[in-house]
Amino acid sequence: MPTNSHLMPHLKVCGMADADSLQAVAALQPDFLGFIFYPASKRYVGERLPAAAVRALPAAIRKVGVFVDDDAATVLARVREFDLQLAQLHGHETPETCAAVRAGGVPVVKAFAVGEGFDFAQLQPYVGCVDYFLFDTAGPQPGGNGTAFDWTLLQDYNLTVPYFLAGGIGPEHVAALRNLRLPGLFALDLNSRFETAPGTKDAGRLEAFFQALKA
Ligand SMILES: O=C(O)c1ccccc1NCC(=O)[C@H](O)[C@H](O)COP(=O)(O)O
């Protein structure tokens, strides 16, 4: 079982789709930045963000492409175009699809929508096919729903795969996050609660959050 629960988790800011706020957020040096390649998302990269702007980000920031039910070839083509370091598969991708992306040389984050009665047994077939899990709140959209789930559901997590904690994390969670001791917790994923508009992040709010977490 991973034992890093007492350490400061890594930080990922997801759903970047605006060139100006991308620069401002990159200056805060988060560990990961996420880019959404799901056309139905309000944060779809689409025409809003040229690949060159993403490719030009500092190498220390790992760039994560977020995909929903794409095949491995589509994911890998975007990875090459945008110079992404990880693929986050946020739909109903099978372990085989995850393994195919990984076989293309790209570490995989497999997202799961968590609600009451979440069946942790469904994770087992993915062990060995993914590098990380991401636990997000179940909701009407595949992601970016802006609501938190009951994190105590993860208290008994006992798999070797580290995970990102996502779903509605916002400034009001600082105290709870500072005291959070969850086995396997690797990173916090921040998105809609730090936006001025979908895809446009509020760098000031993020900076205050980062500082409060690290204080
Ligand atoms: O954010 C989206 O619009 C989105 C749409 C479809 C699939 C995934 C999406 N986001 C992926 C993320 O990793 C988000 O950060 C995660 O869902 C948490 O978002 P939020 O609840 O807004 O904090």
Residue 46: name the closest of 54, 55, 37 by CA. Answer: 37
Task: Decide whether any atom of ligand 1 lies within 6 Å of the 192 Cβ.
Answer: yes
Cα of first residue to Cα of last residue in the chain, in angstroms, is 28
Does the beta carbon of 85 sit less than 6 angstroms from any atom of ligand 1? no
pLDDT of residue 6: 52
Q: Is residue 12 within 6 Å of ligand 1 at its C-beta? A: no
| Percent of the chain whose pLDDT exceeds 70 | 97
State whether the beta carbon of 13 lies less than 6 angstroms from ligand 1: no
Q: Which atom of ligand 1 is nearest to the CA of 167?
A: 21
Q: Which residue, judged by its Cα, is nearest atom 8 of ligand 1?
A: 143
pLDDT, position 3: 39
For residues 34-58, average pLDDT? 97
- Work out the average pLDDT over 103-111: 98
Q: Is 25 in the pocket of ligand 1 (CB under 6 A)?
A: no
pLDDT tens, residue by residue, 120-154: 999 999 999 999 999 999 999 999 999 999 999 99
Instruction: Tell me the average pLDDT of the chain.
Output: 96
Per-residue model confidence as pLDDT tens digits over 2-43: 434 457 999 999 999 999 999 999 999 999 999 999 999 999
| Contact of 93 with 126, CB cutoff 8 Å | no
